[in-house]
Every structure is written in C-alpha cells, then in structure tokens.
Amino acid sequence: MPRRSLHKANGTKQAQRLAALGRRKQRLNRLSKNEPIIPANVLKKLAALNLPNDAWVYSVCLEALLRGA
C-alpha cells in the first residue's frame, strides 16, 4: 500500500481546518441571528458605569454583568 505524499497529507489537514472554521462561523452566525450575544440591558448598564478606557476593566465589568443578567 503506497503512502500518501506529504503534499497531499498537508492539503487534507488544511481542508479539515478550513471546514472546522466554516462550521464555527455558521454556528456563530446562527446564534447571532436568534438573539444578540450581549443583551441590550447589559450594554445599557455597562454604558452607565462610565468606565475608563481600559480593556481589562471593561471585560471584567462585562463578565460580572453577564453573570448577574
């Protein structure tokens, strides 16, 4: 039984990676069409906090609001 060439094997692996990305993209699109990922009331509360321009503070507050929502 002959072995597959590395070129063919790498192409197969890349095709599988791209297929997985496509499935993930479709799943995320399907989720976003049904309901928003971050609810509107959480966004309003987050805006009312007047947070500093810091990504870490924003992410921590968003996570806390999503847990409480």
Q: pLDDT (tens digit, 9 = 90+) per residue, 25-63? A: 988 888 777 766 788 899 999 999 999 999 999 999 999
pTM: 0.47
What type of residue sits at position 57?
V
Question: What is the per-residue DSSP string for 18-68?
Answer: HHHHHHHHHHHHHHHHHS-SS-HHHHHHHHHT---S-HHHHHHHHHHHHHH
d(CA 32, CA 30): 6
pLDDT at residue 5, rounded to an integer: 87
